[in-house]
């Protein structure tokens, strides 16, 4: 499993979260493990 596969899997897992805020928090938590730069969310 590559890092990208892992990221995609984690991303898809977040859609089970009940709301966008929860999804965003889960994505940010995972992203911080695989990337040194924070997510730049679109405004």
- pLDDT averaged over every residue in the chain: 74
12 or 29: which leads in pLDDT: 29
Q: What is the pLDDT of residue 25?
A: 82
Q: Is the pLDDT of residue 13 over 70?
A: no
Nearest to 40 by CA among 23, 29, 28: 28
pLDDT band at 28 (very low <50, low <70, confident <90, very high): confident
pLDDT score for 1? 54
Tell me what pLDDT residue 17 has.
59
Q: What is the pLDDT of residue 33?
A: 83
Nearest-CA neighbor of 28 among 12, 42, 41? 41
Instruction: Report CA Rg, the chain.
Output: 10
């Amino acid at each position: 499993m590559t890092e990208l596969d892992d990221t995609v899997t984690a991303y898809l897992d977040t859609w089970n979260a009940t709301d966008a805020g929860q999804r965003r928090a889960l994505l940010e938590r995972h992203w911080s493990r695989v990337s040194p730069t924070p997510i730049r969310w679109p405004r």
